[in-house]
Amino acid sequence: MEQENRIAREIVDAAYKVHVETGPGLLESVYESVLAYELGARGCQVDVQVPIGIRYQRLEIPDAFRADLIVDGKVIVELKSVEQVQAVHKKQLLTYLRLSNRRLGLLINFGAPLLKQGLTRIINSSDLP
């Protein structure tokens, strides 16, 4: 989890910079592009709109969901640009973590007046391989 925490610190720092420079109220897709750019400039590996599959009995849906960003293959970042984060947004990120066997996710709401009000850390506490 130490590696995930280091990555998360870098993501939060980059998100803060983006929020200060752009302000709240842009579309999620804009924040996604700008944050991916900022993280890439810092040397992070950033995958955008990553398909996450689900298996139900014999049915396999390889692209059932899409994670906004996966940073360094470890941390999922789900981006919002809304007035208030809802419980469903947190559940969505936890589901992504479980389905992809990852431990840490960050829900970042760029619609919040202050970025610290828009940050939620989600930990997948289920047993991982």
Domain that holds residue 22: 2-123
Determine, yes or no, domain membership for 129. Answer: no
Determine, yes or no, domain membership for 42. Answer: yes
State yes or no: pLDDT of 112 exceeds 60. Answer: yes
Summarised one tens digit per residue, pLDDT across range 75-99 is 999 999 998 888 999 999 999 999 9
Determine, yes or no, domain membership for 128. Answer: no
- Cα–Cα distance between 106 and 114 in angstroms, integer? 16
Summarised one tens digit per residue, pLDDT across range 116-127 is 999 999 999 876
Query: What is the rounded average pLDDT for all residues in the chain?
Result: 93
Give the full edge-to-edge strand order of the sheet including 75-80. Answer: 46-56, 59-71, 75-80, 104-109, 119-123
Other C-beta atoms lying within 10 Å of the C-beta of residue 4: 18
DSSP 25-73: -S-HHHHHHHHHHHHHHTT--EEEEEEEEEEETTEEEEEEEEEEEEETT
Q: Report the run of H or E that residue 106 belongs to, with start and end.
A: strand 104-109
CATH number at residue 48: 3.40.1350
State yes or no: pLDDT of 128 exceeds 60. Answer: no
Residue corresponding to tokens 């998100």? 15
Determine, yes or no, domain membership for 110. Answer: yes
Q: Tally the domains of the chain.
A: 1
pTM, full prediction: 0.90
State yes or no: pLDDT of 52 exceeds 80. Answer: yes
